[in-house]
Amino acid sequence: MTSAAEVKDPEAFLKDPRFSQTFQLPADPSDDHGSLQVKYSDYGYHNAADENVLLFFAPLCASRIFHCAKDELAKKYRVRIVVMDRPGFGGTDPVKLEKRPAMCRKMTLALLKHLGIKHVSLACHSGGTVYALDMLVHHPEILSPERPYLAIGGPWILPSHSHLLSMSVTQSLPASMLAQADKFIGFVNGTLGPVVATSAGMSQMFGLSKKKNVEGGAEETKADALFEESLEPFLFKLVHAESIRGFGDESVFLMQKTEGVPGWGDWLDYDDLVPKLVQALKGAGKRLTVNVYYAEEDSMIGAPGTDGPKWLDSCFKGEEVEQIITYNTKTIEAADHDTIWSIRRGVPVDVFKKLAG
Q: Mean pLDDT over residues 208-214, rounded?
A: 48
Q: Mean pLDDT over residues 169-196, rounded?
A: 54
Choose between 246 and 174: higher pLDDT.
246
Q: Mean pLDDT over residues 308-328, rounded?
A: 98
- Burial track 50-60 (b if 16+ CB lie within 10 A, e otherwise): ebbbbbbbbbb
Q: How far apart are the first and last CA of the chain?
A: 21
Q: Which domains can be identified in the chain, with CATH numbers?
A: 24-356 (3.40.50.1820)
Choose between 282 and 186: higher pLDDT.
282
Residues forming beta bridges with residue 43, ordered by sequence position: 81
Q: Mean pLDDT over residues 162-167, rounded?
A: 78
Percent of the chain with pLDDT strictly greater than 90: 72
Q: Mean pLDDT over residues 292-314, rounded?
A: 97
pLDDT at 60 over 90: no
Q: Mean pLDDT over residues 339-349, rounded?
A: 97
CB count in 10 Å sphere of residue 145:
9
Q: Mean pLDDT over residues 84-108, rounded?
A: 96
Confidence of residue 179 (pLDDT cuts 50, 70, 90): low
277, exposed or middle or buried, with CB in 10 Å at 0-12, 13-18, 19+?
buried
- Going by the DSSP 8-state scheme, the letter that residue 146 receives in this structure is S
Question: Lowest mean pLDDT: which of 144-158, 205-219, 287-301?
Answer: 205-219
Among 119, 127, 126, residue whose Cα is nearest residue 82? 119
Backbone angles phi, psi at 24, to 5 degrees: -105, 130
Q: Quick one: pLDDT at residue 167? A: 66
pTM: 0.90
